[in-house]
Amino acid sequence: MKKIQYIVSLFVLAILMACTNESKDINLDAVVAPTKIAALATITQNNSGKVTILPKGEGVSQYEVYYGDGTVAPAYVNPGSTTSHIYKEGVYQVKIVGTTVNGKRTEAIQEVTVSYLKPTDLKVNVAHVSGENFSMTVVAQANLEAYFQVYFGDVANEVPVNFMQDEVITHKYADVGNYKVRVVALSGGAATTEFTSTINISNPINLPIDFEVSTPPFVNFGGANSGVVSNPDIGSNNGSTKVGKLTKNVASEIWAGSSIELATPIDFSSKKVIKMKVWSPKSGIMVKIKLEKLIATDATSTEVNATSTVAGGWEELSFNFNGINNANNYQRVVVFFDFGVAGTGASYYYDDIQLVSGAEVMALPISFESSTLIYTFGDFGGAASLKIDNPKSGSINTSAKVGSLTKANGSQVWAGTSLELANPINFSTIKKLKMKVWSPKAGIKVLMKLEQLVASNSTSIEVSATSTVANGWEELSFDYPTIVNANNYQRVVVFFDFNVVGTGATYYFDDIKQSN
């Protein structure tokens, strides 16, 4: 049981006042109160009543723990550290206070039960995570429990995860299968109560198909073979780790190919275009996608062709199924490479088969050259951004269009702009971004920040670079070697002359891309 109260107070820390050299880089008013304050309380299983408390939260510089048993003075705990206390048997309201460097405080009440009786009325909810076929969650409740342990049943000599009542624990399995999940409710002594359940982890194949998690059930025909392999050409056009590979063996049929059966029919009610990334050893080959029903007695099908334009590199092809009859419930995707030509032993690669609307979307690389895409800038702090004709064409950038950012006179030191992408950036293999910039002076700090689109989540990462050219184009690199790809960064934020008040200067930027 948690009761969260938010208490915000401001005070000036003497040590921060003393750090005059650093003050220009610290905006204390921008620091928000801590969030997600909670605690994990575990009891030593020897009837001693010793409780170890691990405070948790986000944006916390120090915790205060009030034990709730009459002890007046709190324990001061640094993030990641614990405090221990001896309790008598009973129920205690432990207060956790999280404090930021500028004195903002957030409180949470964590109920701790110290009991040597066996927990009763154990209720456990084991559930699949929507949209994540390999993930599941566990939530537990019980009377007289001190805390819970969960075993997910997927590794030998498993170390259980400790958690508190109503805390949601998420686990991701590595492969499909049936797993025995065991939840143990612990008391303050040796008495325990257990719950077990078998969960089935499956991976029904549906669009989009990216080959990263598991191998779909390929059906090969005509002398072709398909499988999942490591990406042979990781780059800005395809940073995936795994891709599909189709080999047309020597003298195989001109119609040799492979198919994948989906778990459910493709829904063409609003989106009519299938896109697929392909890699071919030569350009100009016919790539065909055919859609079929799963009913053996019904040969109804439809197909669309596209022609490769790149040799020895990744490109994205579009297959427009405009006019398709959605009631036909097409559920099999058939892929052909170099259709109409007998096999020569050549291998082709494909990836990211997805259903899209067909409209152009914001994605890397961003070149500002599209005549149909609307570039919606998210300006802030007194900055103003536009897509304009390249006023400084030459050198490394002869593009027709570029982005411009003007930091108005007197604008904030953190004034900048942002662009939201249609999908998160895939940092699984390529962890560096590059951007061409033009600045009226050298030596300015250019900051690139990546954010999630979830309004309630402030998770972000940022990297800065320093310009070295005045009145000329240069390409700056922003390296994110420790970035967590699962954070799904989808907003690119750009700052020019960061930490300096605006002077009315205009900066230009172009060709934001992933590159190693």
- Average pLDDT of the residues of the chain: 91
d(CA 82, CA 201): 35
Q: Residue 10 pLDDT more than 60?
A: no
CA distances from 169 to 134, 149, 163 (A): 14, 10, 8
- Edge-to-edge, what's the strand order for the sheet holding 90-99? 2-7, 105-114, 90-99, 62-66, 75-77
Q: CATH code at 346?
A: 2.60.120.260
- Assess whether 226 and 352 both reside in one domain: yes
- Assess whether 127 and 108 both reside in one domain: no
- Assess whether 449 and 335 both reside in one domain: no
Q: CATH code at 509?
A: 2.60.120.430
pLDDT at residue 216 in the model: 86
Q: 119-128, 436-445, 449-458, 483-492 — which is least confidently predicted?
A: 449-458
Q: 96-105, 174-183, 210-219 — which is least confidently predicted?
A: 210-219
362 within domain boundaries: no
d(CA 304, CA 247): 21
d(CA 318, CA 335): 13
Q: Residue 61 pLDDT more than 60?
A: yes
- Assess whether 196 and 320 both reside in one domain: no
Q: 93-97, 234-238, 295-299 — which is least confidently predicted?
A: 234-238
pLDDT at residue 1 in the model: 41
State the pLDDT confidence band at 131, using cuts at 50, 70 and 90.
low
d(CA 351, CA 367): 24
371 within domain boundaries: no
- The domain of 163 spans 120-201
329 within domain boundaries: yes
d(CA 2, CA 165): 9
365 within domain boundaries: no
- Edge-to-edge, what's the strand order for the sheet holding 147-151? 161-163, 147-151, 177-186, 192-201
d(CA 193, CA 379): 56
- Assess whether 256 and 162 both reside in one domain: no
- Assess whether 72 and 126 both reside in one domain: no
- Assess whether 14 and 58 both reside in one domain: yes
Q: CATH code at 148?
A: 2.60.40.10
Q: How far does Cα 304 stand from its chain's mean position?
A: 33
368 within domain boundaries: no
Q: Of the residues 337, 356, 375, which one is the last residue of a structural domain? A: 356
pLDDT at residue 458 in the model: 83
pLDDT at residue 80 in the model: 95
- Assess whether 178 and 254 both reside in one domain: no
Query: How many independent structural domains does the chain possess?
Result: 4
342 within domain boundaries: yes
State the pLDDT confidence band at 22, using cuts at 50, 70 and 90.
very low
- Assess whether 422 and 342 both reside in one domain: no
290-305 pLDDT tens trace: 999 999 899 999 999 9
244-293 pLDDT tens trace: 999 999 999 999 999 999 989 999 999 999 999 999 999 999 999 999 99
Asked if 337 and 348 count as a contact pair (C-beta separation under 8 A), the reply is yes
State the pLDDT confidence band at 26, using cuts at 50, 70 and 90.
low
d(CA 312, CA 279): 6
209 within domain boundaries: no
211 within domain boundaries: no
pLDDT at residue 296 in the model: 86
Asked if 438 and 388 count as a contact pair (C-beta separation under 8 A), the reply is no
- Assess whether 248 and 315 both reside in one domain: yes
Q: Residue 8 pLDDT more than 50?
A: no
Tokens of 96: 């956790």
Q: Of the residues 138, 171, 201, which one is the last residue of a structural domain? A: 201
- Assess whether 223 and 352 both reside in one domain: yes
- Assess whether 105 and 153 both reside in one domain: no
Q: Of the residues 133, 167, 201, which one is the last residue of a structural domain? A: 201
Q: What is the mean pLDDT of residues 223-236?
A: 93
- Edge-to-edge, what's the strand order for the sheet holding 83-86? 35-43, 50-58, 83-86
pLDDT at residue 340 in the model: 96
Tell me which of 176 and 331 has the higher pLDDT. Answer: 331
The answer to whether the peptide bond before residue 55 is cis (omega within 30 degrees of 0) is no
DSSP annotation of 101 reads T
